[in-house]
Amino acid sequence: MKKCLILLIFSVLSPCYVSGLDDIDFEHLHSASFSFVKSVPQIRTHIKSYSSGVKVSGLSGISCGDKKLETEQASISLLSFKPSETVYILALQELSRSELPNYQQIKKGWEKKVPYDLEIFVHGGIFSINETRVDNREYYIALRERFDHTKAQQLLQKYRAQNPGQSVSVIPVMMKPASSKISVNPGGGRKGIVCSNAVFFDVKNGLKINDDNYHLSGNYYLTAIRNNRLELAAEEDIERLVERILPGEMFLSAPLETLKAQAVAARTDIFMQLGKRHITDPWHNCSEVHCQKIIWGNVVQDKFIQAVRETRGTVILYNGTHVARAPYCSSAGGRTEDIRFVWFTAEKPYLKGVWDGDEPLDLDLTKESDLRKFLDMDYGECNININSRHRWKTTYSQAEIDVFFKKRGIGSLRKIVPLKRGVSGRIYKIRFEGTQRNETVFGELNIRRILNNMFSSAFIVTKSGDNWIFEGMGWGHGVGMSQMGAIGLGRKGRDYKYILKRYYPGTKAVKLY
């Protein structure tokens, strides 16, 4: 039996879908609600984009609205398309829950900087799973006025440049979904049907689209969100989705308890992002790293399936009801980072940065002298032989490094000056001094990208003759769970709940269903 779960609070601006669409099902696909099958949430996920004409087989039937067609195969094409109508909110600053009581004071500070009326925008909602109240809301100081895409991007660039240490962002709000007409031709001289907005498949033992084969337990559909393309998506059991996320995120050789911790983090991320990503699309999340990479084609190994089944329905909550953010990185290098110094978001008490070893060290990695000592130590992550980035060293010649800055107009690089480091030693503000000008850059990812996708920004740089020598630790942003550290803890016999508490202190793994 299916039960609908409705978000009680989606946002301050609750978009109303314009009536007149032929398919009520299509309106539901755009909502933040979802359904249950045997108490398990069903999540709508984008699978793949195809050209406007595809051949589909493996069917027992096709439906849309009140139209039904019994057929084993069909040719499907996009006849017409009209894009969605979307407005955009410019969010200036995320507020932590501890800052909310004093939001008026923070708002006044922004009113001195921007010539717009401001508001508190609530992103996300409160929902219920088997009588457990779950809250994934986030709060922002935002411009009250709504903008088209061009104006929103202009303002985004302007206020990001003026406030480089803030998480200025754009949030889309759909006013009217895209609409389309889709032709379904069963062939063999049989009469086809024309569907509005979406085509739903009844599948026998597996769906085939062109040369791709899919074997899911959920319900498939084709729709359109842009011209000349058809989008395949499925409403699938969240547990089956997590099974397909694990192979892309963790080694099969990892201890089972480590895989279980990864499964809980992956499941938590899905719940954390519900109603906040893909707001203008007829699905909750995608199959790419923008959400979490999902492997569709391969058979899932039994060990991954076991990790998911033994943590079924478990997510990480903070303060009893708040869905935690559960980021993870390949290797933190022995010290995780505070989320504020990576994404400039509001403070998250459970993402403040922790030591990866069993005993904390008396070192302040914001200081280069202490970071130098730490880089000479083999601390945390337990000497894992597959971890080639626990400590690393990279050298570039002057000619090589000047190529990285060629389009930035600073001339030949003369000096690199770290200005601010987070608690893990990761640089989040840096100055590059060149023969033509100097440039200050904010954000660890921006810094890494400039430096030829450096493994992390937790590095010390020295100059020796014509060579620039970077010595650093870790791979990735360093926030949340270190996957290499989690492997080390699993090898020590720690269970998945211990691992999660190590990297998300103050949270609790809670079984929702």
Q: How many CA atoms lie within 13 A of 467 on its CB side?
A: 8
* Cα–Cα distance, 83 to 99 (Å, whole number): 38
Q: What is the four-CA torsion angle of 137, 142, 143, 145, rounded to 10 degrees?
A: 0
Contact (CB, 8 A) for 5 and 34 = yes
User: What long-range pairs does 24-29 form, CB within 8 A, spacing at least 24?
Assistant: 24/65, 25/64, 25/65, 25/198, 25/200, 26/177, 26/196, 26/197, 26/198, 26/223, 26/282, 27/177, 29/198, 29/221, 29/223, 29/282, 29/283
pLDDT value at residue 1:
37
Please tell me what DSSP assigns to residue 228.
T
Looking at this protein, which amino acid is placed at residue 332? A
**pLDDT tens digits in sequence order for the chain, 513 residues long:** 344 443 333 333 333 333 333 455 787 888 888 888 888 999 999 999 999 899 999 999 999 999 999 999 999 999 999 999 999 999 999 999 999 999 999 999 999 999 999 999 999 999 888 888 899 999 999 999 999 999 999 999 999 999 998 999 999 999 999 999 999 999 999 999 999 999 999 999 899 999 999 988 889 999 999 999 999 999 999 999 999 999 999 999 999 999 999 999 999 999 999 999 999 999 999 999 889 989 887 789 999 999 999 999 999 999 999 999 999 999 999 999 999 999 999 999 999 999 999 899 999 999 999 999 999 998 988 667 777 899 999 999 999 999 999 999 999 999 999 999 999 999 999 999 999 999 999 999 999 999 999 999 999 999 999 999 999 999 999 999 999 999 999 999 999 999 999 999 999 999 999
Specify the pLDDT at position 178.
Answer: 95
Model pLDDT, residue 158: 97
- What domains, with CATH codes, occur in the chain? 85-176 (3.30.70)
Contacts of 99 (CB under 8 A, 6+ apart): 106, 346, 347
Strand ranges (E), 227-386: 229-237, 314-318, 322-323, 328-329
Cβ atoms 56, 207 nearer than 8 A: yes
The gap between the terminal CA atoms of the chain, to the nearest Å, is 15
Q: How far apart are CA 260 and CA 493, in angstroms?
A: 13
CA distance 108 to 401: 43
